[in-house]
Structures are given as C-alpha cells and as structure tokens.
Structure 1
Amino acid sequence: MHRKTGRGLAMSRLPTPPNFPAVEQAAPGFAERQQHILMQIGNLGLNWSNNESMFIYVLMVLLDVEEVDAAIIFSTLNTTRARLDLVRRLATVKIRDAAVAATLKRLIRRFEAATRLRNEFNHCMYQINAQGEITHTHLMRPHEAGGRLSLGELREMDERRIQEIVDTNRQLKRLNRDLWELLPQLRAAIGAA
C-alpha cells in the first residue's frame, strides 16, 4: 500500500498503532493466560541457552583444553550454527568410538530442532489484541508467496502452539541431562583415541 507524496514519490503506509490505554485496561482479565505464555517463552530461552552452553564443555573435551579456552573459542564463533559445525568437525577427527560419535550427533540434532522454535520466538513481532492478549507471532524473516515478498509468516498463538513450547521445554530439560551424561563418555572416547 503506497500513497503519493507531494513530490510524486511513493510512501509506505504505516500500521495503525494499538490503543494502548484500552489494552492496558483490558489486560488484567487475561493476565493468567498471558503469564503462562510468557513463562513458557522465557523458559524456552533459559533452557535453550543452558543447552547451547553445554557445547562449551563438549569443545573442552574434544580439544583437551581448559574451560576458559573452550569458552573463548565458543564465543569467538558468533552463530550457533558455526559452533555446532566446529563441534561436528572436531568430533569427526577426534572420536574413535562409533557409539559415542553417534550419540553426540543425535544430541546435536535434538538441539537443532529446539533451536528452530527458540529462534522463532526470539525473532518475531508479537501481535496483541484489544484485550492485551498475544494472539499471533509475526516472523521477522521475509516470506515470499506468489512472487511477492512480505513480512514473515503470521502464526496463531493457540493452545496447540503453547503446548509445542511446553513440549520443547521438556525436551530441552532432558537434553541437558543427556549432554551431562555424555561428557564422561566423550572424555573416555577421546582418551582412548
């Protein structure tokens, strides 16, 4: 949607801002559901971060370095994808025990699956209705449909979607325990190489 300016240039139409006083007045009636959603999204971020940080210890073992050295290497790579690629490559050359290597690959795949959902909720715009309730997320990644680019996919924040976050949080908690369990096995596999 464009309109012409006085100089003949097309100008994009901005969205209508929310009625903030009405939203704030209505919000208390939806507070319990809203708090549940926000708690689940917050837990998703916390659980995901704790799991990503576990790969510092995996690097520590694979490289046989101190924790601070592994953390420096880890933080020098500025994306999760780059960090996991490094772990995969090191695992290929360092791990001689096929079972331990396969376990690490499975754990990385589980983490990557959760990463997709975490990224979705970290990189979206939340749509809120007149009652202050989160109704949709709008992904910030451009989306192409029918040869036209638009702001990313619009997804409803329904009960099924909330349950997806709850389930992913449960999976991330299990993944954290599994990563801790892997570390001594990984050390033994590296030591035996």
Structure 2
Amino acid sequence: MRSRHKRRRGSQLTDNFEARFDRLILLVGRLNYMWTNTESLLIHLIAGLTGADKNVAVIIFLTLNTTRARIDLVERLAKMEGRPANIRDPILEHTQRLSKLSGIRNKYNHCIYSFDQETGNPKTILMRIADRKTDIKLGREDTVDDNAIHDIEAVVAQLSVANRDIWRLIAKLGYPV
C-alpha cells in the first residue's frame, strides 16, 4: 500500500512539475512573439527616419543582428542634427522603453532550464560567462517562482501596450507601413 501511495504521489509531483514547466514555456513563447512583433516596428521607424522605403528598412533591420544594434540605429537616427524634438523625443521614449523591457526577454532566451528537485519550480541557468577580477563564474541559476512568472506576464502586457503606442506614433508621423 505504501509503495503504491509513493508512486501516485511521485506521479502527481511529476505532473505538477510538467504543468509548471508548460506554463513557463507557453509564457516565454508569448513573450518571444510579443517581443519579435514589437521589435519589428523598428523597421517603420528606420524607414521614416532615413526616408527609405520599407523594403530598404527591412534589409537594414535584418542586417543588424541584435536588438541593441537596431535600437542604437533608431536612436542615432532620431538624434541626428536638425531632427525636430517632436519627432526625436517620442521615438527616444519608445526605444528606451524597449531597452528596459529587453532584460526579461534576454534572460529567458539565453538560458537553459532545469527543475528544483525539492519545490518542482523550473530554474533558469544563464548561458553567459561572468568575468571577475581573478576568476570566472558560469551558469547563474535563478528559480522561476510565482514572482518570476508575474514579472514575465507584466512584461508581456507592457509589450502589448508599447506595440500599440509605437503603431500610433508611426501613423502620426506618417512613416511607411
């Protein structure tokens, strides 16, 4: 009787681990979708700021292979001499907003996942080397608890709002769509 109870309990724990992991993976997928969709709006800002058509802006966007490089380009174009403040300032607001939101996205995209054996919570293991003065540190681990899940959900919601706001700015400025 005891061993059957242990098996059932072990099965429930496994099901619980899988449910938590499934929730995390679905949420990270949504985060990626929202991020990619919102980051692609930089194409329209590049087109408008350079006076290029959308196809040229797509080539520029795809040639720059990091979010940081794409945001840097848009910010530099917005800051060019002679750019009116009513164009520059709202663009910089949006790029700074995206930069702040990129931290969570980067964390969950540049890691591997494992499980805490005691709690069943998923854990992230950062795939980055941290150089110290005299040594290096590998694979910082963080537990994906309810607070982390809420943080991801908050970023997804903020990206949704940012997406709509950037679309409104693109329309207001008359940039190519």
CA shift for structure 1 position 146: 7.5
Give the aligned CA root-mean-square deviation in angstroms.
2.5
Unaligned 5+ segments in structure 2 are 1-9
Q: Is 1:142–1:151's contact at 8 Å kept on the other side of the alignment? A: yes
- Structure 1 equivalent of residue 74 of structure 2: 87
Report the Cα distance in structure 2 between the residues aligned to 1:137 and 1:66, rounded to whole angstroms.
41
Find the residue that maps to 1:93 and give its secondary structure. Answer: coil
Report the Cα distance in structure 2 between the residues aligned to 1:81 and 1:120, rounded to whole angstroms.
15
Higher radius of gyration, 1 or 2: 1
Q: Is 1:26–1:130's contact at 8 Å kept on the other side of the alignment? A: no
Instruction: Between 46-55 and 35-44, report the one with greater CA deviation.
Output: 35-44
Find the residue that maps to 1:78 and give its secondary structure. Answer: coil
Report the Cα distance in structure 2 between the residues aligned to 1:95 and 1:158, rounded to whole angstroms.
48
CA shift for structure 1 position 144: 4.5
Q: TM-score, normalised to structure 1's length?
A: 0.76
- Structure 1 equivalent of residue 59 of structure 2: 72
Aligned residues: 166
For 1:51-62, what aligned pairs fall within 5 Å after superposition? 51-62=38-49
Report the Cα distance in structure 2 between the residues aligned to 1:187 and 1:92, rounded to whole angstroms.
18
CA shift for structure 1 position 97: 3.1
Cα deviation, 1:2-49, whole Å, max 9, x if unaligned, reads xxxxxxxxxxxxxxxxxxxxx999533433332221111111111110
Paired letter, 1:116: G
For 1:14-163, what aligned pairs fall within 5 Å after superposition? 27-93=14-80, 96-129=83-116, 133-144=120-131, 147-163=134-150
Residues 171, 60 of structure 1: alpha-carbon distance in 2 compared, 3 angstrom cutoff: same
Unaligned 5+ segments in structure 1 are 1-22, 189-193
Instruction: Between 64-73 and 129-138, report the one with greater CA deviation.
Output: 129-138
